[in-house]
Amino acid sequence: MKSSVVVGLQWGDEGKGKVVDQLAQRYDAIVRFNGGGNAGHTVVVSNEKKVFHVLPSAALWKKKLYIGAGVVVDPESLAQELSQNPVNVMVDYRCGLITPLEKWLDKRLEELRGAGAIGTTGRGIGPAYADRMLRVLPRVLDVVYGNGHDLSIMRMLIGDGWDVTNEWLDMSRRVLSPIAGDVPESLSSIYEKGGSILFEGAQGALLDITYGTYPYVTSSNTVASYVGVGAGFPVSKIDEVIGVAKLYVTRVGAGPFPTEIAGGLSEKMRSKGGEYGSTTGRPRRVGWLDLVALKYAVSLNEPGKLRLVLTKADVLTGLGDLKAAVAYNVDGKESSNFIDAMLGKSVKPVYESFDPIPEVDWGSVMKGGWDVAPRQLRKFVDFVQDYLKVEVAEVSVGPQRGMNVELR
Ligand code: GTP
Ligand code: IMP
Ligand code: MG
């Protein structure tokens, strides 16, 4: 009996999809608990690339998949994903539904923000969570059981420009009726029978609506403890948290990014790492590993139960000297608290430098184990481990399933 949570520790796109796909074979059920179709989780098997948005990234295994009530679901894009991936999935009765109104509002709000736009994925995520708080968002059960859902108040509030038609309702009912269910009850039953459960987080700690770089964040909680609300599963029963972080940092969309790299080197890293949004195709901003930010993210994700998977080591080879931020210089004073990056002060990273990692045949490292990995990489990873005081379980060295090296 085991329950584990995979979470991102940066601004998303750390490679959680690959990690979940690899772990999934050892679990009975895989569960999404936050976010929605804004996520783009990539899995690469035999050179074939699959991107999952609202389905858990374990869709390639014949496992039971769940979408918890903390997720907001767009029935139209779920239908599309299901048509490409015929899986066994249950969607919680209480999931909020993204209607054409929320997608319209997402675009409209971004237009109105102008130069201050957040750079959302345009999937209606923020308005959906907001409308749920306003108690106007339809849920799965409202559509499936025709509880009725009166959107006229929203029309009075914001006028026309969007429409929730009978066609949309019929389509949603068709998609959701066969797969709607009580996710907490099913998870509890699996757990009581000794089954194992893997929870898949979307986005990353620094995009958390409460603890992230607000307002440049997503609209759900992205930290491990949100499993309690988003999947209705007791947090006390979580055995371990697997925190995923890149050995450098990326971010899509606007917002603070203390270690961002400008110019040629960032382009080189973007192209080598394929750093383009899995959902929107936008180029990701690229920067050096920020250990101040990572320490903050660790502190928010059950540090006593947390082990790290560090990804994209292969992108760092052949780049010259590497850097990692170990503190910030904030208006002339040194700080090691990420909150300082959120206070609107001028923040300059204080870097530690590391020797360049030479090009290497990763196949032989995967065969020979961590001890035959380049010593420069081992030193870099040891430094991260010592700084964070958290164990690194694995280093990922390529996008393909299986391209990783365990540390012990
Ligand atoms: P979100 O939930 O959207 O935040 O995404 P994610 O964490 O699942 O990551 P996503 O799949 O969007 O982006 C990670 C990208 O890196 C994908 O293209 C992966 O195929 C790729 N990837 C994962 N691990 C590695 C690695 O170790 N090396 C390389 N080169 N690519 C990797
Ligand atoms: P939203 O979640 O679409 O509202 O977007 C809000 C912010 O979160 C934007 O900066 C997005 O680029 C970012 N974001 C949302 N989902 C993801 C993701 O899965 N990976 C990386 N960034 C994301
Ligand atoms: Mg992604």
**Atom from ligand 1 closest to the CA of residue 35:** 2
What does the pLDDT read at residue 359?
95
Give the residues surrounding ligand 1 with Cβ less than 6 Å away: 8, 12-18, 39-42, 44, 202-203, 273-274, 278, 311-312, 314-315, 396-399
Q: 134: which 2 tokens?
A: 């306003």
13 has catalytic annotation: yes
pTM for the complete prediction?
0.97
Distance CA 271, CA 247 (A): 16
Q: Is the CB of 218 under 6 A from ligand 2?
A: yes
Whose CA is closest to atom 2 on ligand 2? Answer: 218
Residue 356 near residue 395 (C-beta atoms within 8 A): no
Closest residue by CA, ligand 2 atom 1: 120
Q: What does each C-alpha distance from 408 to 287, 364, 394 come to in angstroms?
A: 29, 17, 8
- Determine the Cα–Cα distance for residues 229 and 224; give it in Å rounded to an integer: 10
Q: Residue 274 has which token pair?
A: 């394929």
Atom 19, ligand 2: which residue's CA is nearest? Answer: 39
What's the pLDDT at 278?
A: 79
pLDDT (0 to 100) of residue 148? 65
- Residue of the CA atom closest to atom 14 of ligand 1: 15
Atom of ligand 2 lying closest to residue 202 CA: 19
Q: How many angstroms is it from 37 CA to the middle of ligand 1? A: 16
- Tens-place pLDDT, residues 262-277: 989 999 999 999 999 8
The reply to whether 96-177 shares the fold of 3-89+182-406 is no
Separation of CA 18 and ligand 1 centre (Å): 7
Cα torsion for 357, 363, 367, 368, to the nearest 10°? -30
> Ligand 3 centroid vs 14 CA: distance in angstroms?
7
316 C-alpha to center of ligand 1: Å? 15
* Residue at token pair 């760092």: 316
Note if 149 is an active site residue: no
Q: What is the 3-state secondary structure (H, E, C) of 15-54?
A: CHHHHHHHHHCCCCEEEECCCCCCCCEEEEECCEEEEECC
CB 65 within 8 A of CB 90: yes
* C-alpha closest to that of 294 among 48, 36, 3, 8: 8
Q: Whose CA is nearest to atom 10 of ligand 1?
A: 13
- The low-confidence residues of the chain, meaning pLDDT below 50, are none
Secondary structure element (H or E) that encloses residue 200, with its range: strand 197-200
Tokens of 133: 């708080």
Question: Domain ranges in the chain?
Answer: 3-89+182-406, 96-177
Is the Cβ atom of 219 under 6 angstroms away from ligand 2? yes
121 within 8 A of 34, measured Cβ to Cβ: no
Does the N-terminal peptide bond of residue 215 adopt cis geometry, omega within 30 degrees of 0? Answer: yes
Q: Find, among 367, 380, 117, 144, the residue nearest to 247 by Cα.
A: 380
pLDDT, residue 379, reads 98
Does the CB atom of residue 222 touch ligand 2 within 6 A? no
The CATH architecture of the domain made up of 3-89+182-406 is 3-Layer(aba) Sandwich (3.40)
Which candidate in 21, 41, 142, 208 is catalytic?
41
Report every protein residue that has its C-beta within 5 angstroms of ion ligand 3.
13, 40, 278
Q: Is the CB of 38 under 6 A from ligand 2?
A: yes
- Ligand 2 neighbourhood includes 220 CB (under 6 angstroms): no
Nearest CA to ligand 1 atom 13: 13
Separation CA 244–CA 257 (nearest Å): 18
Q: What is the pLDDT of residues 137-172, one digit of tens each?
A: 999 999 998 776 677 777 787 777 777 888 999 999
User: Which one, of 154, 225, 239, lies nearest residue 191 by Cα?
Assistant: 239
Instruction: Tell me which residue of 284, 313, 285, 308 sits closest to 297, measured CA to CA.
Output: 308
Ligand nearest to the CA of 309: 1
State if residue 203 touches ligand 2 by the CB under 6 angstroms criterion.
yes
Give domain 96-177's CATH architecture.
Orthogonal Bundle (1.10)
393 vs 18, 68, 357, 382, 396, CA distance in Å?
A: 15, 28, 20, 12, 10
Residue 156 has what pLDDT? 80
